[in-house]
Amino acid sequence: MIPKSGPSALSTQRLVQRLRKTSLESSLAGKPKLEVSGQTAVNIDVSKRLANALPLYLLLVVGFAFILLAVVFRSLLVPLKAVLSFLLSLGAALGSTVAVYQWGWLGKLFGVDPASPILCFLPIIVIGVLFGLSMDYEIFLVSGMRERVVLGDEAHTAIHSGFALGAKVVAAAALIMIGVFGSGIFTSASTTKPIAFALAVGVLVDAFVVRMIILPAVMALFGKSAWWFPHWLDKILPKITIE
């Protein structure tokens, strides 16, 4: 059976699901089992496997980052804030990509014709790259704050001093990455365009909204408690100076 619609069409995906359901019912009734092949069937299977692996992948990436930041900054609230705030950047990146490339919003502006489902491996790539950049920006900003706290500055003074030291570096690094990723949005490669768009939006939101606006505001709300660290945990974990 060959569908009349394209491999990415919703009707083709539904046809694959109906055929597989019929095959399962036939095998249970003792009849020959039917197998479904083709691009759509393969895409459905790959998407399902990636979707099942995504939570564990995200948990491992976030978990290792939390431990590393806790060791470096000797704090629990700072790494917790860092990994949770990353979800805002990830949500903005994936949400805007779905809106443009899957729903067709502003499609003409970004050369999307026609709108189609997002690549199944896009979230894996975006999470890995964006999370690494996000934690780099976090370390650039918070390391300066941590340094001033260690030298004896009051918490709010340390926020101002640390932010002033790291903000220009983060802004320059983010603008470079936005330019690199943004150049891929207007190429003819339809496979890489959504990935480039997601990364460009993710870096833009993470650097200039999450790290430069939300980060210092939350640190100010935490105050001195941002650097609280259990004494017993401080003894167990190795001491690392980020400098």
Structural domain spans, the chain: 55-236
Question: What residue type is 17 in one-letter code?
Answer: Q
Per-residue pLDDT averaged across 7-17, rounded? Answer: 68
Model pTM? 0.82
The CATH-assigned architecture of domain 55-236 is Up-down Bundle (1.20)
Q: Does position 27 have pLDDT exceeding 80, yes or no?
A: no
Per-residue pLDDT averaged across 12-37, rounded? Answer: 70
Per-residue pLDDT averaged across 182-199, rounded? Answer: 87
Residue 147: predicted pLDDT: 87
pLDDT, averaged across the chain: 85
Per-residue pLDDT averaged across 39-58, rounded? Answer: 81
Cα separation, 94 vs 122, whole angstroms: 9
Q: Other C-beta atoms within 10 Å of 92: how many?
A: 19
Per-residue pLDDT averaged across 158-167, rounded? Answer: 90
Cα separation, 204 vs 178, whole angstroms: 7
Residue 16: predicted pLDDT: 73
At residue 124's C-alpha, the angle toward residues 73 and 114, to 5°, is 135
Nearest Cα to Cα of residue 140 among 178, 173, 95, 181 = 173
